[in-house]
Structure 1
């Protein structure tokens, strides 16, 4: 049996845990010509090629609402895994992390141990996550916060709802209540993040901000405030008022909804 026949008939595993991309033979990089390049590209099985074509057409025709989460995830995985059926991996990721947002927001250390996830898959998922966050952020930066409150809440949810540890952010506003800065102030554990009122107010002064909004997430999914949340918010509010700076609100982001300190009477 020739070596060529042996390698052409060797069965491929469902997932390659080390390499997601197709790697071309070394000679491919040393010779020019599109026909040579195409002839050395490993070919997709027809059933995979046809499935991908139909799925892309359905997405382009009907948009995201026309396809479920696992097919949306397949579309993302197509680029990272060009030759294999990605449906099993898409379903495994959803079973592990719950939904599409949970998958793309999952931390690297939890994604990489999953069979079928390598650097290429990781990169594609994180590109989508970064794109979603940038899009949401572009809708709130340099915009009037009060008139665009829903966009603010959407941005906070997109950025923080699926994090597995607590994060504390501050949205700084100018005198016209236009958002001038969005900064992460601290990160913590699954149920605690260290916040120092003096540092919050100091940063507001450095930015010449007239007001700010506090935002942090609860990885448990329940946005109900703890006593520590209530206490530190009151301390920050007292420090801000002493310097003529307004604390508009404190948002706690849960998995499916958010809690406003202002709306709930804590401020």
Structure 2
């Protein structure tokens, strides 16, 4: 088992960045370092960073603070090695009331429109922001990204939930469907 500096070097060499280390699951971290306690600690640090970033968007009108939303999403999933879909459920004032994550694989984060909308109804959401990461580093939306955004937007409108945006994040860039541009 390497010391702290050796473990840090090992993890950074293997995963490439601190963000990637923190978004790696604890079992992989433990297998890499041979230290379950270190893996648990890093998992805890990731949770704390997520809470800090989430506090930056709590109580804010999210659609008016795109930078804070993107920073939060980059911190929670922008560095992940697998795609992950996140849904930010908002109240009538566009403030965060609930969040749900759907883990995926290297190149997709499958989900069902029905599950997303059911949860929105359960929490009383007036609107939502859909987000996912592209581990490739290219935030450009795929044809599938565009199609699912249109499908979800139509279905949500039918039950009175507005889809305010679909944001694709990477470690350094993001794309907003609402703005129609890389941000």
- TM-score by structure 1 length? 0.63
- Structure whose alpha-carbon radius of gyration is higher: 1
Alignment match of 1:218 (pick from 134, 156, 167):
134
Answer whether contact 1:142 1:180 (CA < 8 A) is retained: no
Unaligned runs of 5+ in 1: 1-14, 17-83
Deviation string 1:190-210 (CA, Å, 9 cap, x unpaired) is 111222223322222222211
Partners of 2:121 and 2:59 lie apart in 1 by: 18
Alignment match of 2:154 (pick from 238, 241, 264):
238
Structure with more contact order per residue of length (Cα contacts < 8 Å, sep ≥ 6)? 2
Shifted more, 133-142 versus 224-233: the winner is: 133-142
**Aligned-residue CA RMSD in angstroms?**
1.9
Shifted more, 93-102 versus 231-240: the winner is: 93-102
Deviation string 1:169-205 (CA, Å, 9 cap, x unpaired) is 1111111111111112x22211112222233222222
Alignment match of 2:55 (pick from 138, 143, 164):
138
Aligned residue pairs, count = 181
Higher strand share: 2
Unaligned runs of 5+ in 2: none
> What secondary structure is seen at the aligned counterpart in 1 of 2:179?
helix
- TM-score by structure 2 length? 0.89
What is aligned with 1:149?
66
Alignment of structure 1 residues 50-89 onto 2, 5 Å: 84=3, 86-89=4-7
Alignment of structure 1 residues 173-212 onto 2, 5 Å: 173-184=90-101, 186-212=102-128
